[in-house]
């Protein structure tokens, strides 16, 4: 059965939303009555309390009512900073005629995708099956039994009215056919959610082939993958960078740096305030969809840190620091947690709400803010009288800072300092504008990504304030969102709610490991490692496979709400829950020598292997975690000997020098580079595949140990 109502033009993937004035009362200031969302703790649901549609939150009340009244369900899924969600709300959900029709003929349910990613991913699969693509708002029609039979994304009001009429007609006139269609689609989705493939050997060669297969997907002109809309795809780039480091693969490294360069130059980069928007509407990264999400700052920020460590290009370090400073300045709760997002929409000088007003500039606005520097800034940031976005300009660079600096005969550092002075003036001028809505909910999984990134950045950039911010967020989660009833996913306005899901547990486990790994000298943070091990045990217990006990992959949530349980394989805005779990178990196996974590990680890698090798474009983080499990980590911190030995590398690119600091736990020793006995294995270090010469190793300590009467050449404690 097909309704054939929607053109491809309607089913386009879009995001973002502004927020209107909210009232926590039975009526708002316009006299509109509240619906069943009154009292909801979700900022997204709060935005829809006074719609004409009598919305229900997802739950038994609404589902039972649909069944009792034999009505189909209209399910609308979005999030508080979703632009097109807001558009559809204003056009359709506030329309009295459309609201009346929905209230008479449907049970209408609202879901906040950021609180319930398990439901969001299930019903997004439905829309992709039915419509061929997806996006938010996600609009799904279910039978009274909860089976999906039709779906789309944003509908203009005339199309939406037509959809409602035809769906209602089909429900009344061809009810059996509609129910059969719902069962058919639910079966397809359920089978896909619990799919598995035969295990494959995750050999270095197989993973190398998977990484290099991604080169055929790149945009050679603009960097990144695909055309428009263009997303950062951070997990894929992190995998390619990881593999480039393992193999010394110049092609993979260049692909990552080119993608980052495209983003750094483009309008997806907030040049004035730091940080990055969600995605670009064009292939050149010039015009973004203006929302700014915490997870993008965490993931792109991590890419920038690693790219700087791998290449020494100062622009990556500069952009990373400005991104983290933005997060610490504008996206942090007073108690340490990190906020979720900032909206794309804001008010212009006339009080009209629209997309991007906060971020765009005219030549006149730049001249007023910069004075004598305006001409230089307009050339650097591609500002023209006609503009590139609704008569104004999204700031973007025509060339990289290194190239521009060379043209005018100054160093890149000096050029970036000049830009920083310009950005500061523009930032001060921009503060007078109406700022976008900020979604202040604190999500564990997203905070975990930021904690892990800041911990690594603190060591790479010698920024103790980054580590402190990471630790503050960690303590917030431990003290407020973990308790006797288990971890919760969301904190909003002091209220803690929604059971945590697989990405929350595994993501936070990884964050705790990172805090331990990147701890400042002299601080013993083994308490975080212990909490991480407890979380890992809870993860394995809570999310074990309920469909097939022989499949060691984990379920997204602890319940089978919605269409049913499902195994998350694909990386989306953050890595998949199973990728994060594999990374967590792999990390713990390096710190707990005699634990069961290594065995569990090996079983999970095998369970994922068939799928991730056949679909590397959506499985980069799993492939990276599998490499770490089998062949050790990349990066500038390594652990050996079940966590007894820590090696930290610091690179001074200006002197072409690498310094290693090796820490050995008390009571442990390692062999010197030149042992006294031939049969002892020497400590060896390699840089770029080449062995470090013996002359740069420190002098060894010669002593006898209980297990060997002869003197031995050893290293112990901390040495450089």
- Give mean pLDDT, residues 623-642: 90
- Distance of alpha carbon 237 from alpha carbon 255, whole angstroms: 8
Residues 6+ away with beta carbon under 8 Å from 67: 144, 145
Report the C-alpha dihedral over residues 215, 220, 225, 230, rounded to 10 degrees: 180
Residue in 717, 299, 346 with CA at minimum distance from that of residue 522: 717
Cβ distance 37 to 78 under 8 Å? no
Beta-strand pair 107-112/55-57: parallel
- Give mean pLDDT, residues 262-272: 98
- Residue 703: what pLDDT? 81
User: pLDDT of 141-183, one tens digit each?
Assistant: 999 999 999 999 999 999 999 999 999 999 999 999 999 999 9
- Give mean pLDDT, residues 246-269: 96
- For the record, the structure tokens of 715 come out as 């290293």
Cβ neighbours of 366 (radius 10 Å):
23
- Residue 6: what pLDDT? 31
pLDDT for residue 29 is more than 90: no
pLDDT for residue 136 is more than 70: yes
Enclosing H/E stretch for 236: helix 234-247
- Distance of alpha carbon 644 from alpha carbon 664, whole angstroms: 6
Q: Which residue has the tokens 């009209």?
A: 352
Residue 7, SS3?
A: coil
- Distance of alpha carbon 423 from alpha carbon 350, whole angstroms: 25
- Residue 669: what pLDDT? 84
- Distance of alpha carbon 595 from alpha carbon 486, whole angstroms: 23
- Residue 692: what pLDDT? 87
Residue 166, SS3?
A: helix
Enclosing H/E stretch for 704: strand 701-705
Residues 6+ away with beta carbon under 8 Å from 187: none
- For the record, the structure tokens of 59 come out as 């739950």
Of the chain, the percentage scoring pLDDT greater than 70 comes to: 96
Mean pLDDT for all residues in the chain: 92
- Distance of alpha carbon 487 from alpha carbon 503, whole angstroms: 12
Among 344-348, 474-478, 543-547, which range has the highest average pLDDT? 474-478
Distance, CA of 710 to chain centre = 54
Cβ distance 127 to 113 under 8 Å? no
- Backbone dihedral region of 19: left (phi > 0), alpha (psi from -120 to 50 degrees) or beta? beta
Cβ distance 268 to 216 under 8 Å? no
Cβ distance 113 to 79 under 8 Å? yes
Q: Which residue has the tokens 């769906």?
A: 167
pLDDT for residue 18 is more than 50: no
Q: Which residues of 205-230 are buried (b: 16+ CB within 10 A; e: fewer)?
A: eebbebbbebeeebbeebbbbeeebb
- Backbone dihedral region of 132: left (phi > 0), alpha (psi from -120 to 50 degrees) or beta? left
- How is 201-226 classified by DSSP, letter by letter? ---HHHHHHHHHHGGGGB-TTTSSBS
- Distance of alpha carbon 388 from alpha carbon 391, whole angstroms: 7
Cβ distance 303 to 237 under 8 Å? yes
pLDDT for residue 521 is more than 60: yes
Of the chain, the percentage scoring pLDDT greater than 90 comes to: 78
Cβ distance 565 to 546 under 8 Å? yes
- Answer whether 0.85 is exceeded by the pTM: yes
Q: Which residues of 517-548 are buried (b: 16+ CB within 10 A; e: fewer)?
A: bbbeeeeebeebbebbbebbebbbebbebebe
- Residue 283: what pLDDT? 96
- Give mean pLDDT, residues 237-252: 95
- Residue 25: what pLDDT? 60
- How is 637-655 classified by DSSP, letter by letter? EEEEGGGTEEEEEEEETTT
- For the record, the structure tokens of 65 come out as 């009512």
User: pLDDT of 401-420, one tens digit each?
Assistant: 999 999 999 999 999 999 99
Tell me the CA distances in angstroms from 612 to 410, 530, 582, 592, one per residue in order.
46, 30, 12, 27
Cβ distance 579 to 625 under 8 Å? yes
CATH number, span 43-193? 3.40.30.10
- Label each residue of 75-129 as H, E or C: EEEECCCCHHHHHHHHHHHCCHHHHHHHHHHCEEEEEECCCCHHHHHHHHHHHHH
- Distance of alpha carbon 189 from alpha carbon 167, whole angstroms: 21
- Distance of alpha carbon 287 from alpha carbon 46, whole angstroms: 30
pLDDT for residue 454 is more than 60: yes
Cβ distance 571 to 619 under 8 Å? yes
Quick one: pLDDT band at residue 423, thresholds 50, 70, 90?
very high
Domain ranges of the chain: 43-193, 638-719
- Label each residue of 419-476 as H, E or C: HHHHHHHHHHHHCCCCCCCEECCEEHHHHHHHHHHHHHHHHHCCCHHHHHHHHHHHHH
Residue in 420, 396, 416 with CA at minimum distance from that of residue 405: 416
- Residue 288: what pLDDT? 96
- For the record, the structure tokens of 126 come out as 């439905």
pLDDT for residue 711 is more than 90: no
Environment class of residue 272 by beta-carbon count within 10 Å: exposed (0-12), middle (13-18) or buried (19+)?
Answer: buried
Tell me the CA distances in angstroms from 651 to 310, 635, 688, one per residue in order.
9, 11, 13
98-107, 145-154, 454-463, 679-688: least confident range: 679-688
Among 4-8, 567-571, 692-696, which range has the highest average pLDDT? 567-571
- Residue 276: what pLDDT? 98
Tell me the CA distances in angstroms from 249 to 259, 617, 646, 661, one per residue in order.
16, 18, 26, 26
Beta-strand pair 686-687/442-443: unpaired
User: pLDDT of 526-561, one tens digit each?
Assistant: 999 999 999 999 999 999 987 777 789 999 999 999
């Amino acid at each position: 059965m097909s309704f054939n109502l929607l053109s491809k033009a309607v089913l386009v993937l879009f995001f973002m939303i502004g927020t209107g004035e909210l009232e926590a009362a039975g009526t708002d200031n316009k006299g509109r009555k509240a619906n069943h969302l009154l009292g909801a703790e979700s900022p997204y649901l709060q935005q829809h309390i006074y719609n004409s549609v009598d919305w229900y939150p997802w739950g038994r009340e609404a589902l039972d009512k649909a069944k009792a009244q034999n009505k189909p369900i209209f399910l609308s899924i979005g999030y508080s900073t979703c632009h097109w969600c807001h558009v559809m709300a204003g056009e359709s959900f506030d329309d009295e005629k459309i609201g009346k029709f929905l209230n008479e003929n449907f049970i209408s349910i609202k879901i906040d995708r950021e609180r319930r990613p398990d439901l969001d991913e299930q019903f997004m699969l439905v829309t992709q099956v039915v419509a061929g693509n997806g996006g938010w708002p996600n609009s799904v029609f279910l039978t009274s039994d909860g089976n999906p039979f039709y779906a789309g994304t944003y509908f203009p009001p005339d199309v939406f009215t037509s959809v409602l009429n035809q769906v209602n007609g089909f429900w009344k006139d061809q009810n059996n056919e509609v129910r059969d269609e719902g069962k058919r689609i639910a079966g397809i989705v359920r089978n896909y959610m619990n799919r598995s493939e035969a295990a494959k050997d995750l050999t270095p060669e197989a993973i190398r082939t998977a990484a290099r297969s991604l080169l055929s997907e790149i945009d050679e002109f603009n960097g990144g993958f695909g055309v428009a809309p263009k997303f950062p795809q951070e997990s894929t780039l992190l995998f390619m960078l990881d593999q480039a480091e393992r193999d010394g693969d110049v092609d993979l490294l260049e692909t990552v740096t080119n993608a980052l360069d495209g983003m750094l130059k483009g309008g997806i980069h907030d040049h004035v305030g730091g940080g990055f928007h969600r995605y670009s509407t064009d292939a050149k990264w010039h015009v973004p969809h203006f929302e700014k999400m915490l997870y993008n700052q965490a993931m792109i920020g991590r890419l920038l840190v690693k790219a700087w460590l791998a290449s020494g290009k100062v622009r990556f370090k500069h952009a990373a620091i400005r991104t983290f400073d933005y997060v610490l300045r504008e996206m942090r709760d007073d108690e340490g947690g990190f906020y979720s997002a900032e909206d794309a929409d804001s008010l212009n000088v006339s009080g009209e709400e629209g997309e991007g007003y906060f971020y765009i500039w005219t030549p006149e606005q730049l001249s007023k803010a910069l004075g004598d520097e305006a001409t230089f800034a307009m050339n650097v940031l591609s500002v023209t009288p006609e503009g590139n976005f609704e008569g104004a300009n999204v700031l973007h660079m025509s060339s990289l800072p290194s190239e521009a600096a060379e043209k005018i005969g100054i160093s890149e550092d000096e050029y970036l300092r000049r830009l920083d002075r310009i950005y500061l003036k523009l930032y001060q001028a921009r503060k007078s504008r109406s700022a976008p809505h900020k979604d202040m909910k604190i999500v564990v999984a997203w905070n975990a990504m930021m904690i892990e990134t800041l911990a690594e950045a603190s060591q790479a950039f010698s920024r103790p304030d980054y580590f402190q911010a990471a630790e503050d967020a960690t303590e917030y989660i431990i003290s407020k969102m973990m308790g006797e009833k288990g971890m919760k996913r969301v904190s909003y306005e002091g209220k803690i709610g929604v059971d945590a899901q697989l990405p929350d547990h595994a993501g936070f486990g990884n964050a705790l490991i990172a805090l331990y790994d990147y701890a400042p000298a002299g601080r013993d943070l083994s308490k975080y490692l212990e909490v991480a091990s407890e979380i890992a045990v809870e993860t394995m217990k809570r999310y074990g496979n309920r469909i097939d006990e022989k499949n060691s992959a984990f379920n997204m949530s602890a319940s089978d709400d919605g269409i049913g349980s499902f195994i998350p394989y694909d990386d989306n805005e953050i890595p998949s829950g199973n990728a994060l779990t594999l990374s967590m178990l792999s990390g713990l196996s390096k710190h707990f020598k005699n634990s069961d974590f290594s065995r569990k990680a090996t079983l999970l890698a095998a369970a994922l292997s068939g799928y991730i090798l056949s679909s590397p474009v959506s499985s980069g983080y799993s492939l990276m975690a599998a490499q770490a499990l089998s062949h050790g980590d990349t990066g500038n911190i390594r652990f050996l000997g079940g966590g007894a030995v820590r090696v930290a590398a610091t690179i001074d690119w200006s002197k072409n020098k690498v310094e290693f600091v090796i820490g050995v736990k008390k009571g442990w020793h390692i062999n010197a580079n030149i042992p006294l006995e031939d049969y002892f294995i020497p400590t060896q270090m390699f840089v770029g595949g080449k062995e470090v010469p013996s002359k740069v190793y420190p002098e060894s300590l010669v002593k006898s140990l209980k297990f060997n009467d002869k003197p031995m050449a050893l290293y112990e404690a901390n040495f450089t």
